[in-house]
A and B are shown apart, each in its own frame.
Chain A
């Protein structure tokens, strides 16, 4: 006992339950883990796995009806749940600090940021207002905040999400806590911002030797930041290991499934099929009697369905809750569904042009939509040739082409205009200028002017499956509408077709009578995809179709999209912020920044130099679920300029790490880089190729 360091946090046999009329529902069951000083401990799980409940329980914050049912949480040797309220108050915020998921709701919108920091500072130590401000500034410097003085004098809504999260980290670090609890701190931020925040966080951890409990669903973030990982599934801890070992050789089938369901960089749909985890996470009130993962586990045997496996130490320092870990460890367990993994066939030959966009612009004039006293101030365009003043330039001159049956991936961060592009193609956003050719005819800009014959050929899958289906209509009605409306079938036949369609997306027939609220997120997205494919469109526009879904569900949705696309020869515009998904699914990739396309390339070339400097930064920022991967460290400074006042010339010049000089304030030329790759930059391609290495190196050697 005496020669051991006291862990900062020691959780043993913890069960947290919520009181329900029918009895207790356990959101966390029988979890034990301990965090050493200075250790960054990752807590990974899908939504509903209990990870947030566990993290908040550490602060003794359980929410209504929640209670610690069994077990203990010891913080620095003291039992958190036997502290008096005043002792608890003394620990919270000083020794344990929380960085919440949503900084927007955590900051007070009516108090300046500087005052909020100063207030917290003065609560912990007696300081004069001037001293407090100086210290607040120092704190912001320590989280590498750009322009800290401006931030101190701003209100929350005046600073970006990334800046807000930096403020939250600064607030949490005020009292030099022993333990930081981070609840998905970078979810909802752009990848380049996320990368910068993670850098800041990593640096601070090393400087202060603070321990951290890092809750996330993102396997890439874990690989980058955590020393050790615990995987939660259906409120149980199923595996716990040092990060590198977990990724090299996962021992639990669920962890294996999670890692297999994300496409690795360089894989494409023609040669690799994603391995989804079937089924869905069980509800807390109907957990299986044996192993919680057994109903979805490809390796489950009779024993797994009847007996709950113990959490065993498989290798020193690694724990796993599975009956079959010895076989998995020895490499004797079959790789799940390797045989069934028939990849989608070779790429279709480009069978003629299907879609071509020519200098498409979507501008939203500022101050439009008022009848009286409206000042029509917008950029002069074809439609408003005499207009003056400013406009939000959501899409600012995009030219792209797409062949029949091919897939064009569009990548960009929020504000890049990728969703506007999708909406312009589909007709939901009206271009201010430029032309869209589809199947050789010019598409009317207004949706209402497009005849049914065109509507039938152009369909869309929306980002958020929660919003894409009308909650008040049955699935049967939702799916029969396209048959009635676009194909002119009578109601009865349409309903029969709808039921057939359910089978095509592998959902049971009886779902036709259900309401969307009774379906899981993945199932809803299947319905949305089914609806889009109902009339066999020639072009499908998919706007981030998997970004709102859990990782294990993503794979099956991507597979489904692939199959349907392949079977019906549909071309697709696939929009995503996730480069590995786009690289996997697309034939060609366009990278967008602030309403412009900056680079176009074949998907297989997207990870190869030369790149546009923005692509380079994006590639270096994406979280890769592989701790062994080597990434260049290119971080973007400053803030993304607003679309209402775009920089002159190259829109990226305000943040470009490879800025040349004055020339960047002029419009760059399109340069051919061979193999169909085109880069929109002033730096000559040869020069780019000479200075840029491969941003991402050394892929994962998988030992399974």
Chain B
């Protein structure tokens, strides 16, 4: 039987046995789906992921397939979301756009989590001038509006998918690093970190094996939040027409293209815009649910 022992510092000993890892995962998943809000959020996210993965099978029309006869059609049974001014099926383009936005935002988030975690661990643990330099640098980056920074960077780097990734990493690394650092500060004075130092453990092991596990719950929640902001950022860049070029099915770009004709074919604007909002809201709700699961 696994169970928590008598806690010498507390008055009441833990009464509930600690379940094994697998059961804890299942219980966490159940908690996530038990709350309507986070269940809906996770559902939306999973739906978009399915679109992203299987877009080619789901979309009834091709990405740039023009059905000239059907141009500017309102939503109907044949074209669920209607068609745009060039006669392209809006539903197909929304579905096919899911892959791109998830890939860019997801990869960007992953990279900024990696750099942010490393820098946050390093600065928080080493402290002193290393921490000071990193934090002031991050302050400077955070002082600039994200979009302005992005415009500046894209102007310098030239528009490409890689540039968008660089932008996401530079914009979100400071935020992730701060979250990780805030967990490192109380943890680094714990006895087990001292014990590792006294044993002569390497810096890498202390940072990633001894300290990082304590930061994982906060990090998971932060990553989910960053992801939702990254989606927004990718869409915004598309809308501004930098980073991605037509005829890419970037939802932001689609909104931008439809903007001029909003009075004639409003559906071409509403559906991609709705998709952006829905995904951002969904991921946010999921992040909120994660927070409850991981930090009860």
Interface size on A, residues (CB 8 A): 59
Contact with A along B168-198 (1 / 0, CB 8 A): 0000000000000000000000111011111
B223 to chain A, nearest CB (A): 18
Q: How far is the CB of A484 from chain B (nearest CB, A)?
A: 9
A-B contacts, 5 of them at CB < 8 A, read A48-B12, A284-B15, A285-B15, A455-B199, A481-B196
- A181 shortest CB reach to chain B, Å: 14
Contact A468 B13, beta carbon cutoff 8 Å: no
Q: Is the CB of A47 within 8 A of B198?
A: no
> 1/0 per residue B110-138: CB within 8 Å of A?
00000000000000000111001100100
Chain A residue numbers with a CB within 8 Å of B246 are: none
Prevailing SS type, chain A contact patch: mixed
**Nearest chain A CB to B49 CB, angstrom units:** 29
Closest to B16 in A: A20
Knowing A455-B198, A470-B192, the reply to whether A521 touches B12 (Cβ < 8 A) is no
Interface 0/1 of B1-22, CB less than 8 Å to A: 0111111111111010010000
Residues in chain A within 8 A of chain B (CB atoms): 18, 20, 25, 27, 46-48, 52-53, 280-281, 283-285, 369-371, 426-428, 447, 450, 452, 455, 458-460, 462-473, 481-482, 485-486, 514-515, 517-524, 528, 531, 548-550, 553
Give the complex CA separation of A467 and B241 in angstroms.
53
| Complex partner residue of B6 from A280, A427, A458, A486, CB under 8 angstroms | A280
Q: Please, how many angstroms separate the alpha-carbon atoms of A190 and B248 in the complex?
A: 71
Candidate in B13, B128, B129, B210 with the most chain A CB atoms within 10 angstroms: B13
Report the nearest A residue to B203, measured CB to CB: A448
Contacting residues, chain B, for A481 (C-beta < 8 A): 196, 199, 201
* B residues near A370, Cβ cutoff 8 Å: 132
A371 and B132 contact, Cβ closer than 8 Å, known pairs A426-B198, A428-B197: yes
**Is there an interface contact between A521 and B129, defined as CB atoms closer than 8 Å?**
no
Asked if B152 is at the interface of the complex by the 8 Å CB criterion, the answer is no
Total A-B Cβ pairs within 8 A: 127
Q: How far is the CA of A469 from the CA of B199 in the complex (A)?
A: 13
Using known A-B contacts A371-B132, A426-B198, A485-B200, determine if residue A466 contacts B11 with beta carbons closer than 8 Å: no
Question: Please, how many angstroms separate the alpha-carbon atoms of A521 and B4 in the complex?
Answer: 10
Further contacts, 19 of them, CB under 8 A, given A18-B15, A46-B6, A450-B200 = A47-B8, A48-B12, A283-B13, A283-B15, A284-B15, A369-B128, A371-B129, A371-B133, A371-B136, A427-B198, A447-B197, A464-B191, A466-B8, A470-B210, A481-B199, A520-B5, A522-B5, A549-B8, A550-B8
Closest 3 CB pairs of A and B: A520-B5, A472-B213, A521-B8
Q: Is the interface of B mostly helix, strand, loop or mixed?
A: loop
CB of B200 within 8 A of CB of A281, answer: no
Q: Is the CB of A467 within 8 A of B5?
A: no
Q: A47-B10, A455-B200 are in contact. Are A462 and B194 (CB under 8 A)?
A: yes
Chain B residues, Cβ within 8 Å of A517 = 4, 18
Which of A25, A470, A473, A519 contacts B5, CB < 8 Å?
A519
**Other-chain residue from B2, B9, B18, B127 in contact with A548 (beta carbon distance below 8 A):** B9
Chain B residues contacting A467 (CB-CB under 8 Å) are 190-192
Residue from the set B9, B18, B210 with the largest chain A CB neighbour count within 10 Å: B9
The chain B residue sitting closest to A63, CB to CB, is B12
- CB neighbours (8 Å) of A458 from chain B are 198
Q: Pick the contact of B191 from A459, A462, A523, A549 — CB < 8 Å?
A: A462
CA distance A284 to B11 in the complex (A): 13
Q: How far is B199's CA from A538's CA once the two chains are assembled, in angstroms?
A: 14
